Structure 1
Amino acid sequence: MSHADTTDARGLPLSGADGAAAERFESLIDDLYYYRLGVSDRLGLLLQECPEFVMAHVLMGYSLMTEGTLDAHPKARQQLLAAEALPATPRERLHQEALRAWIAQDFAARAAAWEQVLVDWPLDLLALRQHTGTLFWSGDKRHQAEVSAGVAGSWSAGIPGYAHFLSAHAFALEEVGQYAVAERFARAALAVQPQDLWALHGLSHVLEMQGRVQEGRELLEDAAGFLDNYNLFRGHLWWHLSLFKLSLGQFDEVLELFDRKVYPQSSTFYLDVQNGASLLARLEFQGIEVGPQRWERLAQASLRNATQSTVWFTALHHVMALTRSGRVSAVQATLDYLGTAAAHCAQAALAQQLARAGAAFYQGLPGEALAQLLAVRQAHGDLGASHLQQDLYDQFMVMAALQLGDWPRVRQLLKARLSTRIWDAPSWQAFEGQARRVDSVADEAAVRAALRWALD
């Protein structure tokens, strides 16, 4: 077949595919962004039957890179080479350029390629979701919002995949504090597909950042009946439900969710590791005994994956699990791996410093941990992740200062943390009142309550 043999559902040319293959590809894209099961297997079958389908090779390469491990790179490179050997359109060549840059860990070039795709073809759903998703992990929230806003005028309700645009736009806007608009877009996506996990995710973040804890708990408890029908991303929604319950002081229920849903068995999936380690840490900061077995479950995954991971935000979480389970040599191996990667990756260098701080904290060196965290405090967000995930850094600093008996620093850190939830005039007024209450915090119980946002 020559290139541009057919088009996708939005009229974009596809090389190496007939109409039936294009329909199957659209179904795969739909299922991918709804986090349905079996996408990889079905994509593999499509490639067996249509080996000249350029964008199917690209999608497989993207999916492999999304695993966030070094051993996925050679497999992704095979998909890239297969795509490069085929006739392709300019848009498809840009997608190949993005995949090539991703494998080379050249994130600026990757972003530039997808950016050009969206400039010329703003209805390219794959470019939109990949671009905004990876910007999330590179720490550029403003850019993430700019990308989705930049194509918004090209999308409308009659365009296939519109709900996927809505959920991506909602989360991007939430991360830059546009909560009212983000909620509107998330609810619009849920009106199309009530089981849209990414829209539920974006709405959960809105409710969390606005302190609407009871609403958040109810939202995700309503979703509990179908979450397990979806892929591993479901664990992150269970994590969100756990945090709503933690804010309400329902610690037994949080532990039960950890064991059944958040981290029921050892998993190397980076989001599972992040969910599990951060949830255990937050529970321990509340004075809850989580037991060695839960940390051990996480440590088993970290032993397999800590020196393979390329999602740098995960590094601290691996070191937390390894340190809490007494794996001193594995901690050092992880730090060495990060140090080697740091030679050509600024994110890895930052991840190493944060991981060192985490190790120091759990090794009984709160002063060292606090100093290291404070030294890169304004750069914490450069590792990506949401404001809620990054809150772990603030909690570490507060607890380290508490262990040092440095009450002025404890109060200063708690007030700085509160400031992340200012988004309009009423929230500013609320912050002023909460800040005054923080100034009277003088015991461990009050600090723990403040970490649960329980200041009213």
Structure 2
Amino acid sequence: MATDRYGNTLHACTAEGAGHLDRAVEALLFFRPEVAPAVEDALAASPGSPDAQAFAAYLGVLGTEHTGAAAARPRFEAYLAGLDADALPARERLHLAAAGACLAGDLHGAGDLLEELSLAYPRDVLALFAGHQLDFLTGDAVRLRDRIGGALSAWGRADEHRGPLLGMYAFGLEESGHYRRAEETGLAAVERHPRDVWAVHAVTHTYEMQGRIADGVAFLDARADDWARGNYLTVHNWWHYALYALEAGAEDTALRVYDAAVHRAESAGLAMELLDASALLWRMRLAGREEPERWARLADAWAERADPPFYAFNDAHAVMAQVGAGRIAEAEALVVDRRRWLAEGEGDPARRTLSNHAMTAEVGLPVCEALVAQGRGDHAAVVGLLWPLRRRLQVFGGSHAQRDAVQRTLLESALVSGDHDRARLLLSERDGLRPDSPYNWLGRARLADAIGDAALAAVARGRAEGAAKGLRPAAPGLGAVPEPPR
């Protein structure tokens, strides 16, 4: 019987199919586009392989594209129809159960099943990767860390793919607040595989969360040839580069990155890319910079998707684009649709197994409502909606860096509405993590203005200006962005 490169026995799989699966897993680990054709090759060579069938199902879900999941379901269901799943080995049985849960919308249940699989088979890389991505999509920072940490002891230091596991572990460490350990682990992964773009991404997050903007830009500049083109994380890592530019006060650089890499005429309109585009422009909007033409193009791209209720995190970013473009009626229509969808699911036990149902009800819908209220200038309503959620935003997925767009929305509305106590508390929380952040100092200056403390406001603005200037000399890329893909 065939085995994969990690020693796992592959049921109903030929040697050719096993080779294609190994190729697909390697492409998956490094976010290379050839992963999908490699899976199709594995299915063609071994259509009865549970691993290949589960792999195809995971690909249909992990991109958060409702069309991908819809396309994957019929083939997976046809495969199961002729299968005695109880006769399969335990590992493959768990893969099929997890893949089925994914396609049914039960992301949390799928994550549980993959954790059970990894307990007995810690060298099943597909299970580790798919589970790690599900932990990210559901905002489970502790499991994002511990799923990989719990498997690492089964991997020797000489194992070729220990590096990508370290990259995943680094991201889990970062999301759990272990920034120094995350940086060390991520850099070790990049040292082993310079084109491990998930590890690059993990290190980039550690600098973002600590406000180490100059270090982050220098890190990305030095490795641009390894991450800046030809992989599924290209856009997202350019988004991080643009965030660094914004923090340093280089808005024009951020917009150059936006136009050249984040949202271009040639962009495919994928949800994860549009999400990054919305999050970047929204931060600029909160800072007072309107970009009507860019917003209009982005809102059009979201409208072309016509997404049904599928992933609440995407919904929030679609609403950002609609509000940013001044299309408040469209944003309100999305809110009404999601409210109706939740109401229709009341009393339906099957709907309750959908991860997106809870994600929408608990966080996604109120965040969308708050974004609409922000667009209408009802800042008291924004504060009323977001204040109770500010420590629970992880429920609807994403990373701390991504969710910061919502946290900044709350802070902005607290400042504008004159809710000085909440604004002070929010700024104090941010200061503790990023004491040299120009954004935080500018917020403190605005609060000081509002309470009539001109001296404190002048000091805070001086600190903001000094911090921003201090970032630029150590970050030469902010003046000469490496050429993005064209």
TM over 0.5, yes or no? Answer: yes
Over 3 Å counting, the alpha-carbon distance change for 1:326 and 1:250 in structure 2 is closer
- For residue 26 of structure 1, the aligned residue among 22, 34, 46 is 22
Aligned equivalents of 2:248 and 2:406: distance in 1? Answer: 21
| Aligned with residue 442 of structure 1, among 445, 448, 451 | 448
Residue of structure 1 equivalent to 2:337: 337
Q: Does 1:382 align with 2:382?
A: no
Partner SS for 1:389: helix
Query: In the superposition, relative to structure 1, how do residues 361 and 264 fare at CA in structure 2: closer, same or farther (>3 Å)?
Result: same
Q: Which residue number corresponds to residue 36 of structure 2?
A: 40
Could you report, residue by residue, the CA deviation over 1:294-324 in whole angstroms, capped at 9, with x for unpaired residues?
1112111211335336232122110011122
* 2:153 equivalent to 1:153: yes
The answer for the alignment partner of 2:121 in structure 1 is 121
Distance 1:108 1:275, change over 3 A: closer
1:276 lines up with 2:277 in the alignment: yes
| Structure-2 separation of matches of 1:440 and 1:103 | 48
Alignment deviations for residues 217-255 of structure 1 (CA, whole Å, 9 cap, x no partner) = 011122333434323321010011111111111111111
State the distance in 2 between where 1:336 and 1:177 align. Answer: 36
Unaligned runs of 5+ in 1: none
Q: Deviations over 1:107-143 (max 9, x none)?
A: 3321221011011101111111111211112121112
User: Deviations along 1:385-412, whole A, 9 cap, x unmatched?
Assistant: 1111111122101111222233333222
Matches of residues 285-324 of structure 1 in structure 2 within 5 Å?
285-289=286-290, 291-305=291-305, 307-308=307-308, 310-324=310-324
> Does the Cα contact within 8 Å between 2:108 and 2:138 map onto a contact in 1?
no
* Residue 452 of structure 1, CA deviation: 12
Cα gap change, 1:131 to 1:86, in 2 (>3 Å)? same
User: In 2, distance between residues paired with 1:119 and 1:37?
Assistant: 29
Instruction: Report the Cα offset of residue 163 of structure 1.
Output: 1.4
Matches within 5 A, 1:29-428: 29-84=25-80, 85-86=82-83, 88-265=88-265, 267-289=268-290, 291-305=291-305, 307-308=307-308, 310-342=310-342, 343=345, 344=352, 345-349=357-361, 350-419=363-432, 421=433
Offset of residue 447 of structure 1: 8.3
Contact residue 2 and residue 9 of structure 2 kept, 8 A: yes
| Residues in 1 aligned to 2:45 and 2:149: alpha-carbon distance in whole angstroms | 37
2:348 is aligned to none
Distance 1:448 1:372 in 2: 33
Instruction: Sort the Cα spacing of 1:261 and 1:394 in 2 relative to 1 into closer, same or farther, 3 A.
Output: same
Structure 2 CA distance for aligned equivalents of residues 416 and 454 of structure 1: 20
Secondary structure of the structure 2 residue equivalent to 1:153: helix
Query: In the aligned structure 1, how far is the partner of 2:51 from the partner of 2:395?
Result: 31
Letter paired with 2:72:
A
Deviation at 1:443, TM superposition (A): 3.7
Residue 198 (structure 1) shift: 0.2
Consecutive unaligned residues of structure 2, counting only runs of 5 or more, are 346-351, 451-456, 471-486
Deviations 1:326-353 (A, max 9, x none): 3344323321332244334110112011
Query: 1:12, 1:341 → 2: CA distance?
Result: 42
Q: What is the Cα-based RMSD across aligned positions, in Å?
A: 2.8
Please tell me whether the aligned partners of residues 194 and 226 of structure 2 are also in contact (alpha carbons under 8 angstroms).
Answer: no
Identity %: 28
> TM-score of the superposition, structure 2-length normalised?
0.84
Contact kept in structure 1, 2:32 and 2:232, CA below 8 Å: no
287 and 35 in structure 1: CA distance in 2 versus 1, 3 angstrom threshold:
same
Residue aligned with 1:157, SS: coil
Cα distance 1:155–1:286, how it changes in 2: closer, same or farther (>3 A)? same
CA contact (8 A) 1:239 1:262 kept: yes
CA distance in 2, matches of 1:311, 1:301: 17
Q: CA 1:323/1:210 → structure 2, altered by over 3 Å: closer, same or farther? A: closer
Distance change >3 Å, CA 229–CA 438, structure 1 → 2: closer
Q: Does structure 2 conserve the Cα–Cα contact (< 8 Å) formed by 1:170 and 1:186?
A: yes
Aligned residue identity for 1:414: L
Q: For the residues of structure 2 that align with 1:229 and 1:23, how far apart are their CA atoms?
A: 26
TM-score, length-scaled by structure 1: 0.89
CA distance in 2, matches of 1:453, 1:174: 24
Matched letter for residue 384 of structure 2 = A
Judge conservation of contact 1:132–1:168 (CA < 8 Å) in 2: yes
Contact 1:16 1:50 in 2 (8 A): yes
CA deviations over 1:398-441 (Å, ceiling 9, x no partner) = 1112222333332222112334x28xxxx8xx99xx99x94994
- Alpha-carbon separation, structure 2, partners of 1:376 and 1:31: 37
- Change over 3 Å in CA distance of 1:204–1:309 after alignment to 2: farther
Amino acid at match of 2:382: A
1:171-222 CA deviation, whole Å, 9 max, x = no partner?
1111111122212221121112101100000000111122221110011122
Moved more, 47-56 or 291-300: 47-56
Residue 149 of structure 2 aligns with an amino acid whose one-letter code is A
Label 1:452 to 1:64 Cα distance change in 2 as closer, same or farther (>3 A): farther
| 8 Å Cα contact 2:370/2:385 also seen in 1 | yes
Q: CA deviation at 1:448?
A: 12
